[in-house]
Amino acid sequence: MPAGLSWPAAAALAPPVLALLLALCRHLWALRWSLSRDRASALPLPKGSMGWPFFGETLHWLLQGSRFHSSRRERYGNVFKTHLLGRPVVRVTGAENIRKILLGEHTLVSAQWPQSTQIILGSHTLLGSIGDLHRQRRKVMFCRAALESYLPRIQKVVSWELRGWCMEPGSIAVYSSAKTLTFRIAAQILLGLRLEEKQFKDLAKTFEQLVENLFSLPLNIPFSGLRKGIKARDMLHEFMEKAIQEKLQRTNSEDHSDALDFIINSAKEHGKEFTMQELKESAIELIFAAFFTTASASTSLILLLLKHPSAIKKIRQELMSHELYPQCQCCPAEPNISLEKLGRLRYLDCVIKEVLRVLPPVSGGYRTALQTFELDGYQIPKGWSVMYSIRDTHETAAVYQSPPGGFDPDRFSAARPEAVSRFHYIPFGGGARSCIGKELAQAILKLLAIELVTTARWELATPAYPAMQTVPIVHPVDGLQLYFHPLRPSRGSEA
């Protein structure tokens, strides 16, 4: 304590000094990123705030959800800078801006996920692969022949799960139940795992812990999100190694018809043998491709159909016209639906597209700038992260005749003259890095919708519709509590 300064006086002085030091730290942090601009470019950096040292604006992002981006977009414009998950980020909204990013793969930008995601998922996944290897694995994992072989089994799992929902005497949390459904599809159909129910529940819980910590600060310290994600990954890898060894030892060809088999067999055809580490990481990625995002979209589908019963009526009418909705028990619908039959259901396709437009499961995609380039009058410095916004682009697109926030499946019909370009509508991203499981997800959503409208009715179990949380993935804050009831006395009659 300085001479002549009493303790009360020193205590009174401490808060202003601390505030001054914090302000100075924040100023130096902002200056550090201002000086990182590319001096060879005359363009300024995008407007925005870099937040606090190291943490940036990550805590604000996690707490505010979609409001974080919308508030900053309103303040700074469609291109603004921030600092998230340990990296400087330029957040981008708008079809023309996103078009430049998605078509600039390998020239302007390259695929990049947060460091925590890369650490947890590993280096042998599609997320990290490039060039011919990336294209080959995408083609094998979800080719049309593979999808066609999955459909009957997906339909069976969806039907079984939905019957359970209808038999539940009380309400069910749809988001949690949808995660159970999509995890069962991933485990049984994509990986061919043979699980007892307890094993299934334990594995699902562990995988959920992995996904919940994919987007965390890159701090591998006790109790951190990254540490929890790594622990979950190691537990999953231990289980997957045993399951894969059993799979490789099977000789019955009928047992080899899942996505992991397609990957293994394709590699052998090209003279390559995957290591166990590559197979374990591929197995986790397969579940990742079909689990959380599809569960989110399934929940949104059920919610939006409940809010818009006219869409349910139109789906039923379309199914009747294609003899997929029986009029009585003596005229059952054809049990198995092929990709070709799903393709004929044009209105159902419009419903799924509109669900994914209004409530896209993920908010955007990540890239890294390979070189400094211009976007909307600003420089995007080499090495910075670029996060393009799916949700904001959908919400602000001016190409739709009806209000962008409204639920209007007919906006995607051939009869409407709306010019919905590929970059105004990007629920699965776009370009060479579009979502690997988009065809699978669309098929699951269509089969779920068909099973729902032909076998069940559902109603809200709470006084009001829940608010939606958007980080890390869109879902109702209360899980969406609903009552499900079977249609009686037959599949084709109303309740």
Q: Which residues are annotated as a binding site?
A: 435
Residue labelled with tokens 């209360």: 478
Burial class (CB in 10 A: 0-12, 13-18, 19+), 235: middle
Q: Is the dihedral of CA 11, 12, 18, 20 positive or negative?
A: negative
Measured between alpha carbons, how far is 40 from 372 in angstroms, rounded to an integer? 9
φ/ψ (deg, to 5) at 367: -140, 165
Q: How far is CA 115 from CA 35, 308, 334, 472, in A?
A: 23, 40, 48, 15
- DSSP state letters, 44-93: PPPSB---BTTTBTHHHHHHHTHHHHHHHHHHH-SEEEEEETTEEEEEE-
Per the structure block, which two tokens stand in for 438? Answer: 């988009």
The residues facing 486 across adjacent strands are 456
Per the structure block, which two tokens stand in for 223? Answer: 């109790």
Q: Is the dihedral of CA 247, 251, 252, 257 positive or negative?
A: positive
Q: Are 440 and 143 in contact (CB under 8 A)?
A: no
239 alpha carbon, distance to own chain's centre? 24
- Alpha helices, H only, 168-275: 174-185, 197-212, 225-249, 259-269
Measured between alpha carbons, how far is 94 from 392 in angstroms, rounded to an integer? 8
Closest CA to 374 of 44, 21, 16, 24: 44
Closest CA to 338 of 195, 148, 474, 182: 148
Antiparallel, parallel or unpaired: β 468-469 and 475-476: antiparallel
The total number of residues written for the chain in this structure: 495
DSSP structure class, residue 466: P
Within 8 A by CB and 6+ apart from 72, the residues are 48, 49, 80, 82, 91
Measured between alpha carbons, how far is 235 from 320 in angstroms, rounded to an integer? 47
Q: How far is CA 87 from CA 57, 58, 143, 190, 397, in A?
A: 10, 10, 35, 34, 28
Binding residues for heme: 435
Rounded to 5 degrees, what angle do the CA atoms 63, 68, 69 make? 145
